[in-house]
Amino acid sequence: RSIQWFPGHMTKTRRMITANLSLVDAVVEILDARIPVSSRNPEMDRLTGGKPRLLILNKSDMADERTTQQWLHRLRRSGCAAVAMDCKSGKGVKQFHPALRELLKEQIAQWRAKGLVNRPIHVMVVGIPNVGKSSFINKMAGGKRAKVEDRPGVTRTKQWVKLGDGVEMLDTPGVLWPKFDDQQAAQRLAFTGAINDDVLDIEALAMLLLEYLHEAYPQALTARYKINLPEGTEGRILLEELGRKRGMLVSGGEVNTERAAITLLDEFRSGKLGRITLEVPENEGA
């Protein structure tokens, strides 16, 4: 999950995606349901041109159910095909085939009119590191497939993997770079563990996450850390309170804020704070 994206890598990936696009009927873009905006690659729209695209909001088991429904609604209303699933347990993966056929229904009708009845549907899977590309492929293709390497571009010779129901997928997904140059997106990616902690100071990161949680999911902080502080409390105070409640003190009675920060991030990432979404569709409110 910690690849370094250099301009050379980006160029290679761009080239790979463009070259493979002509081989596929649709692009399956995997996103993290907790950060549907920040987990999108900044150039994806441009890279895929007019290719039909199916968005998968993965890790929906960790996201706020209600917000995921709002996202699906919003995306579909704006013309994007989208489904939510959990590729770890496999919940929701059955929606893939019907959603893909719906997306390509005109194309399929045209093939049929030309007598191409059993023409397979070819797809390419793309996404930033850690969104669950390998998990998706493993679930769809059954059996164990090789772990996707966090390396940009496709490195092996192309092979098609059968996903059942007449769908074939390029065996190696496109690993895309995340939105580094958007500070807020970078923070949210770091909250979920999608990019390295060392991109940002861990305590600063924890304070930002605490401020968001305190505003949007105060009950989660109360339930887990017994934090009961007034609205608008600064992240530093929240972090100190967390450490105090957990007894993370150093000599002199001060709070070990670094330990508190690590605890918060670990527990958030492993879902111990409950189902939390970090981005809500505009105008929906938190």
Longest CA pairwise span in the chain (Å): 81
Q: Is 52 left (phi over 0), alpha (psi -120 to 50) or beta?
A: beta
Neighbours of 102 (CB within 10 A): 11
Interface stretch with ligand G4P, choices 7-15, 63-71, 81-89, 107-115 (CB under 6 A): 81-89
Cβ-based neighbours of 130, under 8 Å, separated by 6 or more: 1, 192, 193, 194
Does 200 sit near ligand G4P (CB under 6 A)? no
In 33-173, the DSSP E strands lie at 53-58, 81-84, 121-127, 160-164, 167-170
Residue from 36, 127, 174, 243 binding ligand G4P (CB under 6 A): 127
Does 129 sit near ligand G4P (CB under 6 A)? yes
Alpha carbon distance 42, 173 (integer Å): 17
In the complex, the smallest distance separating the C-beta of residue 73 from ligand G4P, rounded to whole angstroms, is 20
Tokens of 137: 């492929």
Residue from 25, 29, 61, 64 binding ligand G4P (CB under 6 A): 61
In the complex, the smallest distance separating the C-beta of residue 247 from ligand G4P, rounded to whole angstroms, is 28
In the complex, the smallest distance separating the C-beta of residue 99 from ligand G4P, rounded to whole angstroms, is 16
- Count of residues touching ligand G4P (by CB under 6 A): 16
Residue list 16-35, contact with ligand G4P (CB under 6 A): none
The binding site for ligand G4P (CB under 6 A) comprises 58-59, 61-62, 86-88, 127, 129-135, 148
